[in-house]
Chain A
Amino acid sequence: GVLERSREQLLRQTCEAVLLGVLHPRTAISLVLQVLSDAGSLLSCCLNAACMALLDAGLPLAALFCGVTCALQPDGTILLDPTARQEQEARAILTFAIASRERKVLMATTKGSCSVEEMQQCLAAAQSAASTIFQFYRDSVHRRYSKC
């Protein structure tokens, strides 16, 4: 449907921003994501899975990226990585794709409405949360390479 298509486009644009496509001209790189279970924050889950898949495949990347979802509740508090229930009750849901270099924003998408200050606050929260995710990437890769 249209929602899946828009998710595909967002993922594609994020991946194209970090992949070094110059090293593979005239080549198609296809990424297949299969949703096994959806407990909320699906887009950021897809972003994280896509980054780990690209890492695992050995494709040349200029930076790593991760996805963080922020839910703005009706009383103004920010919830990171909301569940499906919290997403439904929220006033606005913002998803950011954050790069590992200087925590730059690669992609931002919003559902619902929020003010500019609230968006900046969500972005700051997402950038600090991204460090935890990148540490998780590092630990997973470390575990994999410590076996050989």
Chain B
Amino acid sequence: APQGRLLCGPGLRRSRAGLLVTKCGLLRHRPGGGGAYWVDSQQKRYVPVKGDHVIGIVTAKAGDVFRLDVGGSEPASLSYLAFEGATKRNRPNVQVGDLIYGQFVVANKDMEPEMVCIDSSGKSSGMGIIGQDGFLFKVSLGLIRKLLAPKCEIIQELSQLYPFEMVLGMNGRIWVKAKTVQQTLIIVNILEACEYMTAEQRKQALAKLSGN
């Protein structure tokens, strides 16, 4: 925000009478720039926001556009040209049921959300079709934000356990792939339990697993 202007983030709404708090949670403040306030709330249901990176599941192909389920109230649309190196002749190989990691370019309450798999310079930067195998599961949005924080302890501890690949979607979906099915399922169970475990309980569980 420009200097002197305070930004109202999620959970706060400006009204005639001043500021309205619309969600319950912890009030956070960031002093950088003009300053920003927002409410850190925990919820499971995702509402599409422009610029969010999410994991979508392809539900239909309608002509030139794919319909993706992103966990919101409406399916998002993804054009086949929105992939890196895609042209009318060179179409991406997307089937119904595929997992796609992309970001929203249009996401407001009045219009159907639209996604793309390239950034503003035309590069894919990690987005696109997610590979075969692996396991997709859903967690709460608060846990995703915790995992996405820089130097997250949970991810560091898990990476010392087994090597694995992970994609985090802001819509609460996580895709994990490790070397064997058993390792993948162990990582999935730990991530799902992380919501309710404290740090000590998590360290104990991981110590028991790496001892085995």
| Chain A residues, CB < 8 A from B24 | 55, 141
Closest to A27 in B: B73
Counting CB contacts under 8 A, is B179 at the interface?
A: no
Given the interface pairs A20-B22, A25-B109, A25-B110, the reply to whether A57 lies near B43 with Cβ below 8 Å is: yes
- Cross-chain contact A145 with B73 (CB below 8 angstroms): no
Output the least CB separation between B155 and chain A (Å). 17
The 4 closest A-B pairs by CB, nearest first: A58-B43, A60-B22, A27-B73, A141-B24
The residues in A between 1 and 28 inclusive whose CB is less than 8 angstroms from any CB of B are 20, 22-25, 27
Known: A23-B109, A62-B20. A144 touches B13 (CB 8 A): no
B41 / chain A contacts, CB cutoff of 8 Å: 58
Q: Count A-B contacts at CB 8 Å.
A: 37
**Count of B interface residues, CB-CB < 8 Å:** 19
Contact of B13 among A20, A24, A148 (CB under 8 A): A20
Report A147 CB to chain B, min CB distance, Å. 7
- The 11 sampled A-B contact pairs (Cβ below 8 Å) are A24-B73, A24-B109, A25-B109, A25-B110, A55-B24, A57-B43, A58-B42, A61-B23, A144-B42, A147-B196, A147-B198
Chain A residues near B122: list those with CB within 8 A: none
Shortest Cβ distance from residue A100 to the other chain B in the assembled complex, whole angstroms:
11
Q: Is B193 an interface residue (CB 8 A)?
A: no
Judged by a CB distance under 8 angstroms, whether B142 is at the interface is: yes
Q: In whole Å, how far is B21's beta carbon from the nearest beta carbon of chain A?
A: 9
Residues of A76-134 at the interface with B, using a CB-CB cut-off of 8 Å, are none
A-chain residues with CB within 8 Å of residue B142 when the two chains form the complex: 148
Within 8 A of A (CB), among B146-201: 146, 196, 198
* Given A25-B110, A145-B26, A148-B142, CB of A60 within 8 Å of CB of B13: yes
Tell me which residues across on chain A come within 8 A of B44, comparing CB atoms.
57-58
Residues of A within 8 A of B109 (CB): 22-25
Docked pose: A56 CA to B22 CA in angstroms: 12
Of B20, B26, B45, B146, the residue contacting A58 (CB under 8 A) is: B45
> Taking the nearest CB of chain A, how far is it from the CB of B104, in angstroms?
17
Contacts of B20 in A (CB 8 A): 62
Q: A144: which B residues are within 8 A, CB to CB?
A: 42
